[in-house]
A and B are shown apart, each in its own frame.
Chain A
Amino acid sequence: MTTSASARPGLWSIRGPISRNTFWTLAAIGLLTPVLLWWGIALSGWVEKVFMPSPAAVWDRTLIWFDEDNLVGDAIISTYRVSAGWAMSAAIALPIGLLIGTFRPVQALLEPLTDFVRYMPAVAFIPLVMLWIGIDEGSKIAIIFIGTFFQMVLMVAEDVRRVPTPQIEAAQTMGATRAEVIRLVLLPSAKPALLDTLRITLGWAWTYLVVAELVAANSGLGYAILKAQRFLQTDKIFAGIILIGAIGLVSDQLFRFLHRKAFPWLHFK
């Protein structure tokens, strides 16, 4: 091999360039390989069906679930629980995180406490939540809230702290008051990072769904997974997990789309 005149960096150079075609080819391989492996293993008969149902079986089960078992209803109630817990968390975490990230006394007062509580496992709060809130919708939402809130506060505070100091000081030397610095600089400057934080924490809220639906639920995707476990309906467990993943993926893409629309200056080439 001779060295060519145009020394184009190879595919494996650090942070090297990649063409669109190569990227999507590799992405397709990455996505399809596990599915094909799964299919292959299921078809080969090495593993018993109870442990690993075939993709076709999972698909069939999903259709049955849809036709006879109110899949749409389960998806809606679960989405509602996750959204409600996450939205309540956001409604409180945004102002508190803003205060922690802006005023040092508030940081001293609340951040160590939040840091402490966030290491407590949300699952362990279930008995307390049942005792305090009962076993209806509120308790499921509360579990998701507990799992999301404390992390969210710390991330919001960090987003606000990351606003470059010169942006704040420039406003002050133009005569901005404290309230104006918060409203006209800190908030708009942190907004893109805040939207990312909301996107990431919504993903975490979904991971608490199954836990939340441990509490005396009789509907929902998490509940369906738990019930399927009792009857060894492995194909339904697979279907439930994949559905939750798919809903998460769609909401994530929605947030990314919103990010591009709301903050065009961050997406210029």
Chain B
Amino acid sequence: MAALQVSAAPRIQVRGLGKVFDGETRVVALDAVDLDVADNEFVTLVGASGCGKSTLLRIIGGLEYHTSGEIVAAGRPVRGPGADRAMVFQHYSLYPWLNVVENIRFSRQLAINREHLTSSDVEVAMGRADALLDLMGLRSMARAYPTQLSGGMQQRVAIARALMGRPEILLMDEPFGALDAQTREVMHDLIRHVFKLERATIVFVTHDVEEAIYLGQRVVLMAPRPGRIDTIYDVPLPAQRHQDMKLDRAFLDLKKAVVERIRETSGMKTDFELLDKLSRAASST
């Protein structure tokens, strides 16, 4: 049956993408990047700092411009930001003058949602905000202001706000990077749940390998100088994930492989000789 074909055109197509900063020193942030992200796929980007994972994400989001190659997202060439590609940031993105539910409804204030608006649309939108409050466990916080929330709660609001306009693609730039380990685990299961319910396509940038494997269907490992895609790993986990899987053989093997590869590509390693010399110098004084 044709309707069951999985091989629809990818949601995101990146072809020969390059970005060069021409400053006092020429920096190649991205070099010849090719990447396809399928509809309703969860892809995570990892890599050593300077590998261009955030830059790639921001280019997909239209917040930065590439200097060569092409990129098509949600069926259109990327020319700046748009409501089809919502972004969740690490922090400082909530509007402190709006309470939780007002933040979530922010996109309803935009003209993009006012054109040809009918009263039933408004009703649907109000119901959507309510559903998102429940989905993200924010019901009791609906009238609170962002400054009154913990970091984890703030990120729940940011995710709900990004989902409000039903974006085809959800871009997440280290959204849990500032959270403590326990909150992070809760957020991981939450975002997997959201992924399943909303059927969005998610591209997720992180420096945490465990997070990348636990969340993604594929882990894209990027390498620095110049920023490029090094290896793409398929994650051998079922769609329904739970925390115990982090101790599975297959999970740990993949984690080891990814961590080692990042170490190799980063060009940084612990200099035992130097450490030895330093401690000898310190003890002789």
Contact = CB atoms under 8 A, between A and B. Distances in A.
B95 to A, nearest CB: 6
A227 interface: no
A29 interface: no
Interface string B145-179: 11110000000001001101101000100000000
Chain A interface SS verdict (over half): helix
Given A175-B110, A175-B112, A268 B87 contact: no
Contact of B111 (A180, A185, A265): A180
A219 to B, nearest CB: 43
B81 A169 contact: yes
A180 B107 CA distance: 11
A175 B108 CA distance: 10
B171 A173 contact: yes
Given A172-B63, A265-B97, A166 B91 contact: yes
A174 interface: yes
Q: Which of A184, A185, A264, A265 has the most CB of B within 10 A?
A: A265
Interface residues of B, number: 37
Given A169-B87, A268-B147, A174 B95 contact: no
A266 B63 CA distance: 29
Interface string B81-113: 111011101111111110000000011011111
A265 B161 CA distance: 19
Contacts of B158: 170
B52 interface: no
B97 A184 contact: no
Interface of A: 164-167, 169-177, 180, 184-185, 188-189, 191, 263-266, 268
9 nearest A-B pairs in the assembled complex, by CB-CB distance: A175-B83, A166-B93, A175-B112, A172-B81, A164-B92, A265-B145, A166-B89, A173-B87, A174-B107
